[in-house]
Chains A and B, each alone.
Chain A
């Protein structure tokens, strides 16, 4: 049970990463490699500020701002200087690795003695008179871990709702048009370049938030935590799309959130079943690749049969 609660909590945290990737990959059709760097800078900024005694909320907000700035830089490189989007993302991301190191001061930082959003949630739960442990499905569960779960679920749901709402406003619709058909967008006086900068800013702000929450949840920060963030985000998104489809933006975004949770549960089950945790990124990458190419195989397997049938007919 504790394993499940941990996985679901992680899922909600990484759902924010999924939302960010949704924005760049599905709204703008860009594989934005800034994600690795902005996740990392989210971890670094939040951890560094918390160690120095900043308010958890302020530290988290600063992390989001740093990620948003990183995304805007990538967007700017891509639109104003026509740098290929992949390259722009890699450049920003690589530069951010050094920036994150400077910010943290070393490769890893412990938050064991600093108050964080997570410890605040625990205090709040205790203050509300929650018992030390509760029994769920026959196992004793720390109520503090339930408080953490509730906090992360609320954040994920809140931002998912906000993003869904935003994409239905004039500005959000203009962003979707800019991603869908830049020529049309320009013809109705939408500032396409500005929309890309703004969109990647919001996207990487969400990704940095995910990083800031992970570091507070785990109680430590490590410079490598952002590695592979884009692939994890894509995996979340794809699980969500498989489970919930893409029929409306609301459904699609809920899918991105619940897909992240489902993917974490899968990972937890795989590790429980004996998967070496070191292989996790390899498995995630193979999973994303499989989701991308299996439909093609399916089409290829069907196509010759149909051709054959025609030949016989």
Chain B
């Protein structure tokens, strides 16, 4: 097997460790992503999906475990250092762009993610032309608004640009954190289409968190289901095996049932002993 693009070994994150309120956001997650694969992470609220992305992007410090990117141990790398090779699209379209900077400035900043930033002019003619071409390829007509502060654009437009910013320099891993959840259905659909195109063009290794079972079966080669900080289901070959939304829904129902059983058992024990 080829070297995994991303590998997690025993990754854990515990909030309020050693107190009665201890929460295991991530509980010994092992995971390897093959280069060029598209993996979707599903899970209930608080199951650890977002923590998983945080652990990879470096915004969440690990309590335990190691993270490897293309074989390099990046566990101790800062978020900004990882960002040279790990790109990210956030749920909130306002998070991924600098509102007061122009569209072109935002894009040029993203295109420089892997290099040093010196005293070269940000918006020289050559770069403007390059940025213009890439924006035009989105097909949203934004190539005529390169000098508009990006904060004046709609959420959908900003998210489409954030996606472009995340993919214009090929990342080792692309992280998508419910990146269509805050958008209206039309914009969401558009951003999903752009995601598919960008991922296909760059053969990008992608990890997407979503609540949409439809997106999961439509986009994913592989679907992970998380629960209480662990990966409880790992379904490969989603499309070949024709796994459907209904199959995934059933998995969720079973998890919820197990949860209820757990809490009623706890309640029973409390009544009996306290």
Residues on A lying within 8 angstroms of B by beta carbon are 166, 168-174, 176-177, 180-181, 183-192
Within 8 A of A (CB), among B99-150: 99-101, 105-106, 108-110, 112-114, 117-123
Q: Say if the beta carbon of B98 comes within 8 Å of chain A.
A: yes
Q: Is the CB of A173 within 8 A of B109?
A: yes
Contact A173 B122 (CB under 8 A): yes
Chain B positions 166-223 with a Cβ under 8 Å from a chain A Cβ:
none
Name 30 A/B residue pairs within 8 A (Cβ), A-sorted: A168-B123, A169-B119, A169-B120, A169-B121, A169-B122, A170-B112, A170-B118, A170-B119, A171-B117, A172-B122, A173-B108, A173-B109, A173-B117, A177-B98, A177-B106, A181-B94, A181-B95, A181-B97, A184-B96, A185-B109, A187-B79, A187-B83, A187-B88, A189-B80, A189-B81, A189-B83, A189-B84, A189-B112, A190-B117, A191-B80
Give the Cβ gap from A76 to chain B, nearest Cβ, in Å. Answer: 16
Q: Is B87 an interface residue (CB 8 A)?
A: yes
Residue of A with least CB distance to B165: A188
Q: Select the residue from A168, A176, A180, A185 with max chain B CB neighbours within 10 A.
A: A180
Give every chain A residue within 8 A of B80 (Cβ-Cβ): 185-186, 189-192
Assess whether B122 is in contact with A180, with CB atoms less than 8 Å apart: no
Contacts of B119 in A (CB 8 A): 166, 169-171
Q: Which of A170, A180, A183 contacts B117 (CB 8 A)?
A: A170
Q: Give the CA-CA distance A192 to B79 in the complex, in Å.
A: 10
Query: Which residues on B sit within 8 Å (CB–CB) of A185?
Result: 80, 98, 109
Instruction: Report yes or no: A168 in contact with B121, Cβ–Cβ below 8 A.
Output: yes
Find the A residue at minimum CB distance from B110.
Answer: A188
Bound together, the chains give a CA A220 to CA B61 distance in angstroms of: 54
Give the chain B neighbours of A183 by CB distance below 8 A: 90, 95
- Other A-B contacts than A183-B90, A185-B98, A191-B80, 8 sampled, CB-CB below 8 A, are A168-B122, A170-B117, A174-B109, A176-B98, A180-B100, A184-B95, A184-B98, A188-B83
Q: How far is the CB of B217 from chain A (nearest CB, A)?
A: 28
Name B residues whose Cβ lies closer than 8 Å to a Cβ of A.
Answer: 57, 59, 79-81, 83-84, 87-88, 90, 94-101, 105-106, 108-110, 112-114, 117-123, 165
* Cα A191 to Cα B117 with chains together (Å): 10
Residues of chain B within 8 A (CB-CB) of A189 are 80-81, 83-84, 112-114
Q: A177-B101, A181-B97, A184-B98 are in contact. Are A190 and B109 (CB under 8 A)?
A: yes
Contact of A187 with B101 in the complex, beta carbons under 8 Å: no
Residues of B with C-beta under 8 A to A184:
95-98, 106
User: How distant is the Cα of A174 from the Cα of B88 in the complex, in angstroms?
Assistant: 18
A181 vs B87: C-alpha distance when bound (angstroms):
16
Q: How far is the CA of A302 from the CA of B119 in the complex (A)?
A: 47
Report A-chain residues with C-beta under 8 Å of the C-beta of B87: 187
Beta-carbon nearest neighbor of A174 in chain B: B117
B131 → A minimal CB distance (Å): 13
Bound-state CA distance A183–B83 (Å) is 11
The complex places the Cα of A176 from the Cα of B100 at a distance, in Å, of 9
Residues A188 and B113 in contact in the complex (CB < 8 Å), given A169-B121, A176-B98, A181-B97? yes
CA distance A181 to B149 in the complex (A): 13
A170 to B117, CA, bound (A): 5
Min CB gap A165→B, angstroms: 8
Please, how many angstroms separate the alpha-carbon atoms of A170 and B114 in the complex? 13
Point out the residues of chain A lying under 8 angstroms from B101, CB to CB. 173, 176-177, 180
A177 to B97, CA, bound (A): 9
* Cα A171 to Cα B120 with chains together (Å): 8
Instruction: Provide the residues of chain B in CB contact with A188, threshold 8 Å.
Output: 83, 109-110, 112-113, 165
Closest chain B residue to A181, Cβ basis: B98
Q: Which residues of A contact B109 (CB under 8 A)?
A: 173-174, 177, 185, 188, 190
Question: Of A174, A187, A191, which one neighbours B96 at CB under 8 angstroms?
Answer: A187
Which residues on the B side are within 8 Å of A170 (C-beta)? 108, 112, 117-122
Taking A187-B88, A190-B80 as contacts, is the C-beta distance between A181 and B99 under 8 angstroms?
A: yes
* Residues of chain A contacted by B81 (CB below 8 angstroms): 189
User: A-B pairs with the 9 shortest C-beta distances?
Assistant: A189-B83, A170-B117, A180-B98, A189-B113, A173-B122, A181-B98, A177-B98, A169-B119, A189-B84
With most chain B CB atoms within 10 A of its CB, the pick from A185, A190, A191 is A190
B-chain residues with CB within 8 Å of residue A171 when the two chains form the complex: 117-119
B85 to chain A minimum Cβ distance, whole angstroms, is: 9
In the bound assembly, the distance between CA atoms of A176 and B122 in angstroms comes to 12
Alpha-carbon distance between A183 and B57 when the two chains are bound, in angstroms: 12
Q: Which residues of A contact B112 (CB under 8 A)?
A: 170, 174, 188-189
